[in-house]
Structures are given as structure tokens and as C-alpha cells.
DNA sequence: TTCTATTTTGAATACGTATGCAAGAAAAAG
DNA sequence: CTTTTTCTTGCATACGTATTCAAAATAGAA
């Protein structure tokens, strides 16, 4: 016995046609103020609410944004999720949350998004094969890679300016020491990981400073274990730049466990500026990703493409900022 | 130009009726193996996918679960979110994520859930006024409070057995010391906070041990500031029991900043067993909430009520377990 | 007031699917 | 082979809304 009060019921009570009821609840349709009042009164009395499914069926569009996410362990992403949902809510859109375990999005998940004919898709963290991404293009569903880029850049992406960021980080480190350094990458196939290394490497090469690269996985444990490996490999580096904060925290804990002083013996820098980076236990120097700006950029692009599909794609880069704390 | 291949197209290609196509894709309908193959082949060729909105419209039901969440800052909840989405995915349901800022859920958010005629609703963290909750009952939409209880228990809830847990914690602490202790509550109006205090207080009273209660807000900063207040109030307590882990971490950092040794001078215990509790920087003794069991319990209840609505509500309690680390 | 231009309304239809019903096909029984 | 029973299929309809088109109402001009 679901409450099944529909537009026709309201129409009858208000003494108008179903069409008029529809027009009252559809933004951008013309109705006299008088009928609007009558309809709203009747709707209120009956507790009427337009059926979203009937709407989507007839308009062949939806008010749902698909948000695909992998790394909920990394506090950066819940933050992103929160921003997106609140921002989209303001614009009348709801968020269908899709969690994927694998790096590459499952076709099963894509099916879901297509079944619901989502108005737009955001992919954070995870990656996606070309032909799958094309399925969205074919259906004119706008798609944004958030904090990731696909190698072939036929797709829209919104990232922090990783190159600039890692250059600045390298220059900052180079000023206070020239000993060999370490870069800890996340999963190697991610654009963020590559770009952050690239800028870092560039500057260090210019300055004639050596660095060694360790491969990890963007997780706390990954950082922790990598730090252990660094130590067992030989001398303590002058600085460690981890591709994200949560790895940096792992690195710090591992170093400290061995009695190594930060920043006296080794400087540590992360990336993201997650909340925990500011905790007294860590006070991590890092690079702040401007989540709000990135989210705004993404939302605006999606809303634009939703209202009029152009298919134009661009790699948007937002500037972040250096946050100096006590690990450097 | 959305790909608008529908059941009729498939039917034509397969040489059957639209009804047969529908039957093939509708679980529980009878079709000959021969026609099933014909239909599947045609569907594959055309890239057919049933329109979820048309389905929901005709069946007056949906495959969407509404998940309402407030505290994405607390790592416990992203974990919960992940478990729910993966579990529901297995059962063919998708998750509509709703983020609410206020403690009490906005009627605006409820509207969203009702508009999408969600199959079920899960409310974590946040609270909800009675008459709003009743809106779901009226519409026969099953509702679960996860890790929360409403005072009037006409509603289903799934929690960890907070009373037993806090009793055990109190007994554990009582065995190794009888000095005055501290309980740090989260937001006072939450059932979790109250229950955890209740069990704790009960046992300490039996043993004749005093404790003082501080009121906080389930956040890291809240824990940090409360610890500062504790210190400025006088002597260091023999133990601090924080109503969740993230506050406990804040407490630890604040104590350490003042040079207070944990556990030598003061023991600290949290609740939840979030990932960070096991990090070497903290090694927090805590109580593990069995997320998986709690999620399973919730999912099973919801699926049951979805297939056949009974409206029966119950306060389900799942047993957790003590996790001893190095802060006690 | 009368005629024209404009705006608002209602009737009818379409969206893509599930399902009751009757007819047809197949299987089982005789 | 005929009759009865069971299964499968197709036809037609309904779900609740947006939208086209013509009719009606209103506003504006003369």
C-alpha cells in the first residue's frame, strides 16, 4: 500500500487537468499564479510528490550522478564524497555511490550506471578501460576523472597541478639539503603518481641531487613497509617525498619505531593535506589539494554538459598550496 | 541520441513478442530455453539493457537503498559505507548516498528518498524526528538505524552490544587500578554514547571506583580539547575511556604533548577499532565493532522486509570483542 | 465594443516495462 | 489417434509523468 497519490488525484482535487499539475512541478513551464496556488494547495493536502521514475522515463534523463570510488581507506576520498554530495544536492541531483574493489572498474558497475541512465559520472581513484569509457561517450553521458587522468586524453579530468606541486616540493627540499632523497610512488599506473614523480625528478636533476624511487600503493601499510625497506637498503635518505599523506604517515611511524628523528635525520613530505596530517602526532608538511575548488570545477563541467552536451574534454588543473609543518 | 534500444526492438530481431523479452530479463518468469537464447542473442547484438525507470514505474518499487550518513570524518563510517555497497551490490541493489550536515536529518533529504521510492533506508550516525520516521512506515519502506537507536523503539536498529562492551572495559580497567577514571562521551543525545557510559558506570559503581564524565563530540579535536580540560582540572586520572577511537586518538596526542606517559600514567581505551587504532603511533586498546556482522544483520533484515513487509522492529545487538594493545 | 494577438489550459499521446488473460503449443494420459 | 492437462506465448493494458496541438481564455489594440 505505497502512498500512490498521483498528479491526476491532485488535478481532481484542484479542479484542473493533470497537465496543469505537471506544469506546476516542472521547472520552466508556464502556469497562472492562480492555478499554481490551487495545485500547490491540493498537493500539500494530499501529500503529493512527483514520481521520479515516471519523470525519468518520459524525459529520458535522470537527476542522478554516478560516483565511483575505490579507496575509502584514504581519508581524502570520504572528504571528496562529502563535498560532491552536498554540492550536487544544491543543484537538485542525488548521488549513486558505486564502490569498486579492483583498480579497474568492473563492467558490472558500468551496467548499473547505464541502467539508471545517470546524468553524469565521476570516477575517483579507480581507472577504466578505454572501450568502457567510450560507452558513456556513445550515450552522451558526461564523464569526469577526478584526481586521475587517462593516458589517452579524450576524457575530461580534474586534478591538482601535480607537476607544479612536486617541483615546488623538490625545490623546497633542495634548499635545505643535497643528500640523496627518496620518492615513494603509489600504484604505478596512476597519473598522479607519475606526475608527482616527474616534477620532483626534474628539479632534482637540475640541482644535481640524486633520488631513489620506491614503489608502493597509496596505503598506510604500504608506506610503513616501504620505510622499512629503505632502512634495510642502507643509509637514511635526507628526505622522503611520499605520493600521498597516508603513506607519509606510515613512513613516519616506521622511522620513529627505529628511533630515527624527523626532521633532524630525515625530512618527510606528503601530498593531499588530509585532516590527520595536522594532528600533533604527525604535523606533516604536505601539499594541500584544494578539494573544494576541484569539486566545484567538476560539478560545473558536469552541469554544463548535462544541460547541453558538447563532448569536449579537457585536463583541468587546479593549483594547490604548500603547507609547512614540522616534518621538514 | 541516447542509446534507446528497447524491449520491442529486441523482440523484433528475435522474432518474439515484447512480453517474452520482458520475461527473459525478469527473474522468476517462465520462458522456454529456446526463446531465452534467441532473446539473449538479440539483446547482446543490440546492446539492450532493461530501463530501470520503466521497471520501477510499473512495479512500483526500486532497487535502490538510501544510505544516510553524517560523520564521514570518522573513519569508521567510510568503512561501513564500503561494506554496505558491496553487500547490496551482490543482491542487485544500488546505494543512493545522502549526506546530512545536521544531527537531525533534513526533511529535504527525506523527500529525495521518497521521490526515488527507495526499497529501504539505512540511517547511520544521524538522528531523525519521530514523525519523519513515520513517513517511511506509512509508505512501508523498511528503515534501520545503524549504530544508533531511537529512544522510542518502534524502529529497527542494529548496534553493537554497547552495554556488555563497556562493562567488560570497566572490569578490565578495574583489575589493574582503582584510581578515579574518566569517561568521554560523544554527542550526548546519541544512544551509543549513553549506553557506553551506562555499562561503564554500572561496573565502576559496584567496585566503588569514581569516574568523571566529560562531554565531547566524537571528533579528534573534541578528544584533544577534552584531554586538555582534564589536565587543567587537576590530577591525571588512572584511565580514560573514550566513546570512540578517534576521540581516544585525540586524547593520546594531547596527553603526550604534555609529556604524560601512556599507559604508565594514564590508560586510554577507545571504541570501534578503526584502522588507525592499530597504527604504531597509537596502538590503541579498544573494542572492536563487528562491522561485517552488523552490516549482514542490517542487509538481511532489509531484504526480508523488502520481499515481504511486516513492519516488525527490533533492537538487534551484535557482540563485539576486546582488542588489547599498548595503551593499557 | 469588436477584433486580433497572446497566453493558458485540457485532451490525447508517448515513454519502456510487467502482467492478467486468452489463445496456442506442447506434453501427458487414455 | 483423441482428449485432457500443463506450459508457453502474444495481445492489450497500466504505471505516472511530460509534452504537442488545438481549443479556450485572456489581454491588447482599435
Interface membership of B207 toward A (CB under 8 Å): no
Give pLDDT tens digits for A122-171. Answer: 999 877 777 778 888 888 999 999 999 887 668 899 999 999 999 999 99
Confidence of residue B153 (pLDDT cuts 50, 70, 90): low
Q: For residue A323, list its beta bridge partners.
A: A286
Question: Could you tell me the pLDDT band of residue A194, with boundaries at 50, 70 and 90?
Answer: very high
- What are the tens digits of pLDDT across the range A201-238? 999 999 999 999 999 999 999 999 999 999 999 889 99
Answer whether residue A2 shows pLDDT above 50. no
Q: Using a CB-CB distance cutoff of 8 angstroms, which residues of chain A are in contact with residue B221?
A: none
CA atoms of B273 and B288, how far apart (whole Å) = 5
Do the chains contact at B72 and A81, CB–CB below 8 Å?
Answer: yes
Domains B64-160+291-321 and B162-288 share a fold: yes
Residue B99 corresponds to which cell in the numbers above? 549526506
Contact by Cβ (8 Å): B269, B239: yes
Count of CB atoms situated within 10 Å of the CB of B295: 23
Residues 6+ apart with CB under 8 A from B29: B22, B23
Q: Which residues pair with B173 in a beta bridge?
A: none
Q: Compare CB distances from A49 to B95, B98, B114 and report the shortest one's residue.
A: B114
Q: Is A205 on the interface with B (CB under 8 A)?
A: no
Crossing angle (nearest 10°) for helices B18-25 and B7-14: 110
| pLDDT score for B315 | 93
In this structure, are residues A121 and A69 in contact, taking their beta carbons and an 8 Å threshold? no
| C-alpha closest to that of B238 among B169, B170, B178 | B178
Residue B15 CA to C24 C1' — how many Å?
16
Give mean pLDDT, residues B177-189. 91
Of A49, A57, A279, the CB nearest to B220: A279
- In this complex, the answer to whether residue B12 has its CB under 7 A from any atom of chain C, a nucleic strand, is no
B23 CA: nearest nucleotide by C1': C18
Say if domain B162-288 classifies as CATH 3.40.50.2300: yes
Confidence tier at A1 by pLDDT (50, 70, 90): very low
pLDDT tens readout for residues B113-149: 999 999 999 999 877 777 778 888 888 999 999 999 8
Report the top-level CATH class of A64-160+291-321: alpha beta
**Could you tell me which CATH class the domain B7-50 is placed in?**
mainly alpha
Strand B286-288 with A239-242, pairing: unpaired
C-alpha cell at A247: 603513506
- What cell numbers appear for A29 in the block? 513551464
State yes or no: cis peptide before B26, omega within 30 of 0.
Answer: no
- Name which of A97-111, A222-236, A287-301, B63-77 the model is least confident about: A97-111
Distance CA B15, CA B27 (A): 21
pLDDT band with cut points at 50, 70 and 90 for residue B73:
confident
The lowest-confidence range among A115-129, A173-187, B100-114 is B100-114
Extents of the domains making up chain A: 7-50, 64-160+291-321, 162-288
Q: Cβ of A105 under 8 Å from any chain B Cβ? A: no
A57 Cβ contacts chain C strand, under 7 Å: yes
Amino acid at each position: 500500500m505505497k502512498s500512490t497519490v498521483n498528479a491526476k488525484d491532485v488535478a481532481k482535487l484542484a479542479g484542473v487537468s493533470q497537465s496543469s499539475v505537471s506544469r506546476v512541478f516542472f521547472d520552466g513551464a508556464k502556469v497562472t499564479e492562480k492555478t499554481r496556488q490551487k495545485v500547490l494547495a491540493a498537493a500539500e493536502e494530499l501529500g503529493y510528490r512527483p514520481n521520479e521514475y515516471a519523470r525519468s522515463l518520459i524525459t529520458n534523463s535522470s537527476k542522478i550522478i554516478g560516483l565511483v570510488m575505490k579507496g575509502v581507506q584514504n581519508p581524502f576520498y570520504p572528504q571528496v564524497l562529502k563535498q560532491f554530495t552536498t554540492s550536487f544536492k544544491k543543484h537538485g541531483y542525488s548521488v549513486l555511490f558505486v564502490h569498486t574493489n579492483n583498480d579497474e572498474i568492473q563492467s558490472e558497475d558500468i551496467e548499473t550506471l547505464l541502467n539508471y541512465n545517470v546524468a553524469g559520472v565521476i570516477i575517483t581513484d579507480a581507472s577504466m578501460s578505454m572501450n568502457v569509457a567510450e560507452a558513456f561517450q556513445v550515450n552522451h553521458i558526461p564523464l569526469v576523472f577526478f584526481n586521475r587522468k587517462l593516458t589517452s586524453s579524450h576524457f575530461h579530468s580534474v586534478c591538482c597541478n601535480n607537476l607544479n606541486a612536486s617541483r615546488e616540493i623538490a625545490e623546497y627540499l633542495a634548499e635545505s639539503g643535497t643528500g640523496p632523497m627518496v620518492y615513494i610512488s603509489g600504484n604505478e599506473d596512476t597519473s598522479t603518481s607519475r606526475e608527482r614523480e616527474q616534477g620532483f625528478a626534474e628539479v632534482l636533476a637540475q640541482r644535481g641531487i640524486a633520488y631513489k624511487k620506491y614503489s608502493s600503493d597509496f596505503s598506510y601499510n604500504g608506506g610503513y613497509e616501504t620505510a622499512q625497506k629503505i632502512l634495510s637498503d642502507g643509509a637514511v635518505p635526507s628526505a622522503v617525498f611520499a605520493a600521498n599523506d597516508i603513506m607519509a604517515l606510515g613512513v613516519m611511524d616506521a622511522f620513529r619505531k627505529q628511533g630515527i628523528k624527523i626532521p633532524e635525520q630525515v625530512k618527510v613530505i606528503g601530498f593531499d593535506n588530509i585532516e590527520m596530517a595536522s594532528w600533533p602526532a604527525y604535523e606533516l608538511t604536505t601539499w594541500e589539494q584544494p578539494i573544494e575548488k576541484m569539486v566545484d570545477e567538476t560539478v560545473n563541467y558536469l552541469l554544463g554538459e548535462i544541460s547541453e552536451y558538447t563532448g569536449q574534454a579537457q585536463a583541468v588543473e587546479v593549483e594547490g598550496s604548500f603547507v609547512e609543518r614540522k616534518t621538514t
